[in-house]
């Protein structure tokens, strides 16, 4: 397994943001926009926008700017899979439930197909049409349901305990909401998303701001 | 108002992570650790750890490594405020409620004191001891309750509409869960935390991984 011709992570993030802006503009009846307009809406430079779009091979009619609908399709070809990606949520506590609900219906190409928990009261329950499985069946259930991506919302110590099952399950991507550093092998892409760290960061800048 | 002697954002993030690791080790009875041990637990280099700690002026007994309790206190002096920072949550939908619940009791120096929503059924309700106010009273309520930091969990368009009230309210930090780019003046520190962008990023690497 190898990752080839990969676009830098930061560019991928920005492409996702570009698309969000473009979809909104399209909904409002716009058909074209210039790189500097897109840049201003995201607080970055026009050079950055042009560099990112050059990287994915998109070129524009410079007189009227980028054609919005074209660019949306183009970004979609880079970001989206032709097939739906099945997603599993591990840990159906408050955060897991909120993410599941927040998520449902938001992205047609990503689909939460199952959830996991260790609490007997949650196992076999159905939340927003998603069935919750015993976390001890994780490896098997992921294989059966062809899950390719996991969202981890369980306690850090639990996440560490589950690592071997996650690795063996064959998933390829993990969005890690726990505060644990999970040292997965390189074939599993991990994005850490720790709320407490960011809260402490904002708090640091708040306490150092002077009125 | 100015921000002086500020430590780089990435160092602040890592200090928060170091502390989390150190607290866990302390709980398990450890008293000392080396930079390379700390580094390995976070998947970074020992040089990075030493550089960060040098930056905050912490030096160690190199024979036995860093003294854990000392280092926890030292990081606390950098990250934590002497006073509690009052926090407000704007938008009490599924995500806002989850964050409020997830948050409560997690950080003694940060305290959610109020929430805001536009839904008449939520206004004046109390969730986990936190009262929900009419979002139209945001500026006034923030001032009355000495809120210094906001967590935004409302729809993007709503967030944009509220920007003038947020700016006038005097808050100094914003954790932005909406997908809107909010162009606040420099005295307000903003951390963007958009779930959809990260999901799309993980999905991109999932679809480009080959089995």
Q: How far, in Å, CA of B182 to CA of B159, rounded?
A: 8
Between A148 and A4, residue with greater pLDDT: A148
The answer for B 134-153 residues in CB contact with A (under 8 A) is 148-149
Helix %, strand %, coil % for chain A, to 5? 45, 20, 35
Q: How far, in Å, CA of B26 to CA of A49, rounded?
A: 46
Q: List CB contacts (< 8 A) between B109 and chain A.
A: 203
Flag if A205 and B109 touch (Cβ within 8 Å).
no
Share of chain A above pLDDT 70, in %: 93
B171-190 tens-digit pLDDT: 999 999 887 778 899 899 98
- Choose among B17, B103, B202: nearest Cβ to A191: B202
User: A188 near A167, Cβ under 8 Å?
Assistant: yes
Flag if B202 and A175 touch (Cβ within 8 Å).
yes
Q: How far, in Å, CA of A172 to CA of A166, rounded?
A: 10
As given in the structure block, the two tokens for residue A143 are 């294989």
Rounded to a whole number of angstroms, the distance from the CA of B35 to the nearest CA of chain A is 16
Q: List CB contacts (< 8 A) between B210 and chain A.
A: 1-4
Q: List CB contacts (< 8 A) between B149 and chain A.
A: 202-203, 206
Instruction: Considering only the C-alpha atoms of chain A, give the largest distance between any 2 of them, rounded to a whole number of Å.
Output: 62
User: In the predicted model, is pLDDT for residue B4 greater than 50?
Assistant: no
Q: How many CB atoms lie within 10 A of CB B37?
A: 16
Q: Mean of the pLDDT values across residues A87-94?
A: 90
Q: How are beta strands B147-152 and B173-176 bridged, if at all?
A: parallel
* Chain A CB within 8 Å of residue B196 CB: yes
Phi, psi torsion values for B205, nearest 5 degrees: -75, -30
Q: How far, in Å, CA of B210 to CA of A172, rounded?
A: 9
pLDDT of amino acid A104: 66
Residue among B178, B174, B173 at smallest CA distance from B195 = B178
pLDDT of amino acid A123: 95
Flag if A102 and B95 touch (Cβ within 8 Å).
yes
pLDDT of amino acid B33: 93
Q: Could you tell me the CA-to-CA distances from B36 to A182, B41, B43 in Å, in that order?
A: 17, 9, 10
> For chain B, what is the total number of helices (H) and then of strands (E)?
8, 9
* Chain A CB within 8 Å of residue B192 CB: no
- Choose among A110, A189, A197: nearest Cβ to B17: A197
Confidence of residue B114 (pLDDT cuts 50, 70, 90): very high
A210 to chain B: closest CA residue = B1
User: In the predicted model, is pLDDT for residue A1 greater than 50?
Assistant: no
A102-120 tens-digit pLDDT: 776 666 678 899 999 999 9
A191 to chain B: closest CA residue = B202
User: In the predicted model, is pLDDT for residue A4 greater than 50?
Assistant: no
Long-range contacts, stretch B153-157, CB < 8 angstroms, 24+ apart: B153/B89, B153/B90, B153/B91, B153/B92, B153/B93, B153/B95, B153/B96, B153/B99, B153/B177, B153/B178, B154/B90, B154/B91, B154/B93, B154/B96, B154/B117, B154/B178, B155/B91, B156/B180
Share of chain A above pLDDT 90, in %: 45
* Chain B CB within 8 Å of residue A27 CB: no
User: What SS3 state is found at B130?
Assistant: strand
Q: How far, in Å, CA of A190 to CA of A179, rounded?
A: 13
User: B178 near B154, Cβ under 8 Å?
Assistant: yes
- Choose among A6, A195, A205: nearest Cβ to B173: A205
Q: Mean of the pLDDT values across residues A127-154?
A: 94
B42-80 tens-digit pLDDT: 888 899 999 999 999 898 767 889 999 999 999 988 888
Flag if B175 and A202 touch (Cβ within 8 Å).
yes
Mean pLDDT of all residues belonging to chain B:
86
Flag if B2 and A210 touch (Cβ within 8 Å).
yes
Q: Mean of the pLDDT values across residues A154-182?
A: 90
Rounded to a whole number of angstroms, the distance from the CA of B199 to the nearest CA of chain A is 7
What is the rounded (10 degree) CA torsion for A18, A21, A23, A26? -120
User: In the predicted model, is pLDDT for residue A80 greater than 60?
Assistant: yes
Q: Mean of the pLDDT values across residues B125-137?
A: 91
User: In the predicted model, is pLDDT for residue A134 greater than 50?
Assistant: yes
pLDDT of amino acid B162: 95
B197-209 tens-digit pLDDT: 778 888 888 887 7
- Axis-axis angle for helices A195-207, B9-27 (nearest 10): 120
pLDDT of amino acid A108: 67
* Chain B CB within 8 Å of residue A3 CB: yes
Q: Mean of the pLDDT values across residues A126-142?
A: 93
User: In the predicted model, is pLDDT for residue B1 greater than 70?
Assistant: no
Flag if B1 and A81 touch (Cβ within 8 Å).
no
What was the ipTM of the complex prediction? 0.77
User: In the predicted model, is pLDDT for residue B110 greater than 80?
Assistant: yes
Question: Between A and B, how many residue pairs show a Cβ–Cβ distance under 8 A?
Answer: 188
């Amino acid at each position: 397994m190898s990752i080839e011709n990969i676009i830098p992570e930061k560019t991928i993030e920005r492409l996702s943001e570009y698309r969000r802006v473009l979809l909104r503009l399209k909904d409002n009846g716009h058909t074209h926009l210039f790189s500097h307009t897109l840049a201003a809406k995201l607080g970055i430079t026009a050079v950055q926008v042009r560099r990112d779009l050059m990287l994915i091979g998109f070129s524009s009619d410079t007189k009227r700017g980028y054609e919005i609908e074209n660019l949306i399709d183009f970004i979609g070809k880079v970001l989206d899979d032709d097939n739906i990606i099945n997603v599993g949520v591990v840990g159906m506590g408050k955060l897991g439930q909120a993410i599941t609900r927040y998520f449902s219906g938001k992205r047609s190409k990503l689909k939460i197909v199952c959830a996991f928990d260790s609490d007997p009261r949650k196992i076999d329950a159905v939340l927003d049409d998603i069935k919750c499985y015993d976390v001890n069946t994780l490896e098997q259930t992921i294989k059966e349901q062809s899950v390719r991506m996991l969202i981890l919302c369980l306690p850090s110590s639990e996440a560490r305990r589950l690592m071997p099952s996650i690795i063996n399950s064959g998933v390829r991507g993990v969005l890690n909401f726990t505060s644990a550093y999970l040292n997965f092998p390189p074939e599993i892409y991990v994005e850490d998303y720790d709320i407490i760290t960011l809260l402490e960061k904002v708090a640091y800048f708040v306490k150092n701001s002077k009125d």
